[in-house]
Every structure is written in structure tokens, then in C-alpha cells.
Amino acid sequence: MNLDKLVAVSGMSGVYRMSANRSNGLIVEEIPTGKLKFASVRKHQFTPLESIGIYTDDGDTAALKEVFGKMLEQVSENPPVDPSSDTQTLFEYLAKVLPNFDRDRVHAGDVKKLIRWFSFLHEHGLTQAVEEEVETTKEEEEPEA
């Protein structure tokens, strides 16, 4: 699965799979049930998960799929905290996953959403595809000897 097929829809909680594109909105699929819904552009905004990044302190961003990959690598020794935890706990968790995140520009709500999305995707078996994509990207970036 490609992260660019997954979208966050304003006004609708969770992550959805984009099923079809219309001129006046998107048809999105609820991942757990497979049920299709129409989301109008008049009422909603759409953000592909592939376009999301976490600010880092070097002025750049870390792609969401890379952050999900790191979370997946650490899931056994550093499981995601409860999204309703206090701000300090959320930031401590993110610091273990992405030590160079920008503490001024990343807010507690961003970390909560990150954890909710990861937990949702992991629960539905979609993080394995994310890990494979990250590995493929790393292999493409490494120069051949």
C-alpha cells in the first residue's frame, strides 16, 4: 500500500483510503469496514499522508512514512504512549523516535495525531507496507559500490 492513497479528511476523524476522485470531492473508504463515503470539497479539506512531515531542528522536515518506520522499528521496546497523555510524556516519546524534532514548531496535538494514526494503521496491518516502502527508498538512495 502506498501512503499517498491514504488521506486525512478534515471534519472526519481517522485515516481513509482514497477510492475515487470527483470534481466536487473524493470518495473515501473507511479502512476497517471498507464502506465508501463521499466527502465534498465544499465541506472538507484533504491531506494525503505522504505529503505530511514533522519539523526538525535543522529547518527541514522528516517525512511521515520515515517517522512511521522508526516507530515501527521501536514498537516492541518503545511502544506508543496513550494519545491522551500529558504533553511532557508525548514529547518524551517523540524524542525517542525522532530526537531532532523541532520543539518550537511541533505541538502536542501533532504528536497525538501522529500516535493515533500510527496505532490505527498498525492495528489494521498497514504499517508493514510503510516499512517496506522506507526500506525500498533507503536502498535507492545508497550508491552502488
Q: Dihedral angle at the C-alpha atoms of 33, 132, 120, 20, nearest 10 degrees?
A: -40
pLDDT of residue 126: 82
CA distance 66 to 60: 13
Q: Give the chain's domains with CATH numbers.
A: 3-49 (2.30.30), 52-141 (1.10.10.1650)
Other C-beta atoms closer than 10 Å to the C-beta of 26 total: 20
pLDDT higher than threshold 90 for residue 108: yes
pLDDT higher than threshold 70 for residue 140: no
Q: What is the mean pLDDT of residues 82-94?
A: 94
pLDDT digits (tens, 9 = 90+) for 1-57: 358 789 999 999 889 999 999 999 999 999 999 999 999 999 999 999 999 999 999
Cell of 107: 505541538
Beta carbons within 8 Å of 96's beta carbon, 6+ residues apart: 74, 78
pLDDT higher than threshold 50 for residue 143: yes
pLDDT higher than threshold 70 for residue 130: no
Beta strands in 59-141 (DSSP E): 61-63
pLDDT of residue 127: 75
pLDDT of residue 135: 56
pLDDT digits (tens, 9 = 90+) for 62-72: 999 999 999 99
Is the pTM above the cut of 0.95? no
Other C-beta atoms closer than 10 Å to the C-beta of 7 total: 22
